[in-house]
Structure 1
C-alpha cells in the first residue's frame, strides 16, 4: 500500500471528566475508535498545552474535539485555533469540528456563538437532516432522521456568511453546517457511545435535577447511535481520499 504523506491531525481542545477518563478514556480515543479501520496516520495535538498547529499543507485532515471550556471565554489557546481555521478552509483541507470545534469553526468564519437561549441540550436527541444534506459526503448513507448524543450550553447562533445548514434538532436549529468546500461542524458527538453519554449525564446529575430535568429518563434514553457514528467514518474516508490524491500528486509531479 502506498505510504500517505499527510496525516489526520486531531486538535485536542479539552478532556472529559476525570471519573469518565479513568473508565472510558478520552475524546481523542473515542474519535479514533469511531473512525474505524481506515488506514490513516493520526497525530494528536493538545492545543491547551501549547502544541504547535501544523501548516495546512501538512494536514490531510483536521478534527477539533469538544471541550468543557466555552468559546466565549476567549482563552489564548482557543483563539489560536480560531485564527488557524480560516487557513484550513481556504486550502480546502477536510475539517471537522465537534461540539466546541463546531462552534469555533462557526465563529472563525464570521458567525456568532453564544449561550443557547433555551439552556443546555443534553442526552440522546433526534437529529433531522436538511435537504442540503442529501448529497453532502459527510452524511452519505444516513437516514433523514437519526439519534445522536449531545451535551452543550453554547451554540452557533448565527451561521457564517455562505454557510449551509445540514442538520437540526428540536432544541438547536444548527446541529451541523458546511462552510467552504470541505469544512463541517457538528454540534452533536458522533464519537460518544451510550456509556459515555450516560457518564456525562451522571456527572452533571445534580445540576440537571436542579433545573427540573429527569436524570433517570435521560439515562434510560441514552442508547448507541450508529448512524451518528457513521459521520466520523465518512469523514475518515474523505481524509483518506484527500491524502491519497495529495500523495499521487507528489509522486507524479
Structure 2
C-alpha cells in the first residue's frame, strides 16, 4: 500500500543529518507494516497531482500554525477536502491533525494552558498510551462528525476519528526521545518555558507507546472501504 507523506515542515538542520527529516521518521515508525512511502514537500508547494496518486495520505507536523498566512495552507486544505470526498484515507499528526480539522470546519488556536512537551499520556478509550508531544496549538472546536478517540486533562481533542475517512493525533509518535532532546536545544530555548522543558527531560528514557499508535495508523490505512 503506497502512502503519500505530505511534508509541512522540516526538522532542524542541525538534527537532520543524524536523525532524519519528518518523512524518514514516519518510515521508521511504520516500518514492517506493509506500507511504502513517497514524500511531497507541500510546504515548498510540491503537491500531488491527484488525491488518487497514492492509496492514502499522511500529513506531518510543522513549526507553522494552521491559522498563519503561508502559501501552502489553502491548497492543503483543498487537498484534504478532496481526499475526504474521494474516500482516500487521511492520517494527520500534530499540524496534520490540526489542518484536517480546520479544513473541515473546526477551529485551531494557541492554547492558553501552554505547551505539551515530551512523554505525555492519553486515554484512548480506556487504554492509556504515552507518546512524545511538542505543541501549543490545539483543535479547540471539532468539525461536525469528528469523534474524540483520545484525550487528557490538557488536550480534550487529542485524537479524532472521521469515520473511515481520517484519523488524526495531536502528539508525535514519530518523535524519538533523541529528537525531542534536540528540539529542546534548537527550537525550545526562549520559546518553551525552561521549567516545562526541564520537567519533560526528566520523563525521557522509558519505553513509550509509539508502536501502538503506529499499529492504529496502519490498521486505519488498511481498513476496508466500500
Give TM-score, length-normalised by structure 2.
0.90
Q: Which runs of 4+ in 1 moved over 6 A?
A: none
Give the number of equivalent residue pairs: 226
- 1:131-190 per-position Cα deviation (integer Å, ceiling 9, x unaligned): 6xxxxxxxxxxxx11211111121101000111011112211111001242301100001
Match of 1:198 among 181, 192, 196: 181
Alignment match, 1:149: 132
**Is there any run of 5+ residues in structure 2 with no aligned partner, and where?**
none
**Is there any run of 5+ residues in structure 1 with no aligned partner, and where?**
132-143, 247-253
CA contact (8 A) 1:149 1:189 kept: yes
- 1:1-41 per-position Cα deviation (integer Å, ceiling 9, x unaligned): xxx6xx21000000111222132111110100110213333
Residue 226 of structure 1, CA deviation: 4.2
Rounded Cα–Cα distance in structure 1 between residues aligned with 2:157 and 2:60: 18
Alignment match, 1:134: none
Stretch deviating more after TM superposition (156-165 or 55-64)? 55-64
1:85-234 matched pairs, under 5 angstroms: 85-130=80-125, 144-207=127-190, 211=193, 213-223=195-205, 225-234=207-216
Give TM-score, length-normalised by structure 1.
0.81
Rounded Cα–Cα distance in structure 2 between residues aligned with 1:226 and 1:121: 16
Structure of higher RCO (CA pairs closer than 8 Å, 6+ residues apart):
1
- 1:82-132 per-position Cα deviation (integer Å, ceiling 9, x unaligned): 11101111222221100000000010111001111112221211111236x
SS of equivalent to 2:55: strand
CA RMSD, Structure 1 to Structure 2 (Å) = 2.2
Rounded Cα–Cα distance in structure 2 between residues aligned with 1:70 and 1:29: 22
Question: Aligned in 2, Cα 1:48/1:212: closer, same or farther, shift over 3 Å?
Answer: closer
CA contact (8 A) 2:29 2:210 kept: no
Alignment match, 1:61: 56
Rounded Cα–Cα distance in structure 2 between residues aligned with 1:158 and 1:229: 28
Alignment match, 1:83: 78
Q: Which has the higher helix share?
A: 1
